[in-house]
Amino acid sequence: HEADAYRTDLMTITRYVLNEQSRNPEARGDLTILLSHIVLGCKFVASAVNKAGLAKLIGLAGETNVQGEEQKKLDVLSNEVFVKALVSSGRTCVLVSEEDEEATFVDPALRGKYCVCFDPLDGSSNIDCGVSIGTIFGIYMIKDKENVTLEDVLQPGKNMVAAGYCMYGSSCTLVLSTGNGVNGFTLDPSLGEFILTHPDIKIPKKGKIYSVNEGNAKNWDEPTAKFVEKCKFPKDGSSPKSLRYIGSMVADVHRTLLYGGVFLYPADKKSPNGKLRVLYEVFPMSFLMEQAGGQSFTGKERALDLVPTKIHERSPIFLGSFEDVEEIKGLYAAQA
Ligand code: AHM
Ligand code: MG
């Protein structure tokens, strides 16, 4: 019985990644080891998020608790856990975190061949009201182990070897691509393991949802304004799209991936490059979208073709169902 097989033949994320790697005769298991350290970071954050209120983990950075101990904010704490887990994996050489202004160059003795760009706790303004938040990561391979530079992470997103996110929501879900489709794993808290629950995720070709912060509408450019107008007042006889916006990228993108539709954080007059960061927000999510059959566009080009020049660079982003993004591309082309 198929359902029974699923219950008893547990495909953990480690088993899945090992299987993937064994198909590449040159692979030596380094990516598996690296990913298992990322998974450890995600489990730590999942557990911290769940007991955040109880453990008084959510206090402001620098605040002291009743014992007079310094309390660390959850995003600062999560960042420390990820950095330490990544360095100790022995498989990384450059780390870029949204929490750290400068990139971290791993001590040569602990160096491996991967670079990891990550946002340890995205959407942290949502923590206090219990809305879903997440970790986002993208992985590059270094060019030359003897000569590691910032150039190793200032590469277009299409060079990423893996990307994913972990959503801390009503359940904890890790969505991963190693360049061969997209798979979703849910944390079974009783086992402490991520189990494959969403094999081979494909985004619907067209969706019924659009997701954007409409409070910025007065500053939008014309193609964005036209697209959103079409979502609300379609002229081809189709039904209007529903608006869903959580304001937490991982949750908004996760819904878009599973239900279809489009998520946008466009440029506006006040922020000509939008808000979201290229290396650890735009690229990993664009990588996943393409791997799931959707697309991702910056308003000028395919998002994964963008070549970043600074580690914390921002870019406008339109991602989701293939046909919906195609429509946005058409509006930008018409304006050009
Ligand atoms: P953060 O890194 O400061 O948490 O900001 C990123 C978040 C994303 O999760 C989300 O998509 C976006 O900011 C929402 O921005 P806005 O509040 O402007 O709509
Ligand atoms: Mg962020």
- Ligand 1 centroid vs 59 CA: distance in angstroms? 20
321 CB near ligand 1 (under 6 Å): no
Q: Is the pLDDT of residue 63 over 80?
A: no
Q: Is the pLDDT of residue 59 over 60?
A: no
Instruction: Give 332's contacts (C-beta < 8 A, 6+ positions apart).
Output: 223, 297, 299, 300
Element (H, E) at 286: helix 283-291
Which atom of ligand 1 has the smallest separation from the CA of 134? 9
- Ligand 2 centroid vs 135 CA: distance in angstroms? 9
- Ligand 1 centroid vs 123 CA: distance in angstroms? 6
pLDDT score, position 229: 98
| Residue identifier of the C-alpha nearest atom 3 of ligand 1 | 123
247 CB near ligand 1 (under 6 Å): yes
Express as a percent the part of the chain with pLDDT over 70.
92
- Ligand 1 centroid vs 240 CA: distance in angstroms? 25
How many residues make up the chain in this entry?
336
282 CB near ligand 1 (under 6 Å): no
Please write the tens of the pLDDT for every residue from 277-286.
999 999 999 9
Which atom of ligand 1 has the smallest separation from the CA of 98? 2
CA angle 46, 281, 165 (to 5 degrees): 35
Token pair for 308: 């970043």
CA dihedral of residues 18, 19, 22, 24 (deg, nearest 10): -100
pLDDT confidence band for 1 (50 / 70 / 90): low
pLDDT score, position 49: 86
- Ligand 2 centroid vs 27 CA: distance in angstroms? 32
Please write the tens of the pLDDT for every residue from 19-34.
988 887 777 889 999 9
CA angle 334, 211, 51 (to 5 degrees): 150
Question: Are 142 and 93 within 8 A, CB to CB?
Answer: yes
Over the chain, what is the mean pLDDT? 92
Task: Indicate the DSSP class of residue 236.
Answer: S
- Ligand 2 centroid vs 33 CA: distance in angstroms? 25
- Ligand 1 centroid vs 43 CA: distance in angstroms? 22
Instruction: Give 120's contacts (C-beta < 8 A, 6+ positions apart).
Output: 41, 45, 75, 78, 79, 81, 82, 97, 98, 99, 135
| Residue identifier of the C-alpha nearest atom 11 of ligand 1 | 249
120 CB near ligand 1 (under 6 Å): no
pLDDT score, position 54: 59
Which atom of ligand 1 has the smallest separation from the CA of 252? 11
Which atom of ligand 1 has the smallest separation from the CA of 133? 9
**For a substitution probing ligand 1, which of 248, 282, 313 has the most ligand atoms within 8 Å of its CB?**
248
Please write the tens of the pLDDT for every residue from 4-14.
666 788 999 99
pLDDT score, position 126: 84
- Ligand 2 centroid vs 123 CA: distance in angstroms? 6
Coil/strand/helix, residue 92: strand
Question: How many CB atoms are located within 10 Å of the residue 26 CB?
Answer: 5
| Residue identifier of the C-alpha nearest atom 16 of ligand 1 | 247
Q: Is the pLDDT of residue 60 over 70?
A: no
Which atom of ligand 1 has the smallest separation from the CA of 245? 19
- Nearest residue to 124 via CA among 160, 171, 72: 72
148 CB near ligand 1 (under 6 Å): no
| Residue identifier of the C-alpha nearest atom 18 of ligand 1 | 213
pLDDT confidence band for 268 (50 / 70 / 90): very high
Q: Tell me, what's the ipTM? A: 0.96
Please write the tens of the pLDDT for every residue from 179-211.
999 999 999 999 999 999 999 999 999 999 999
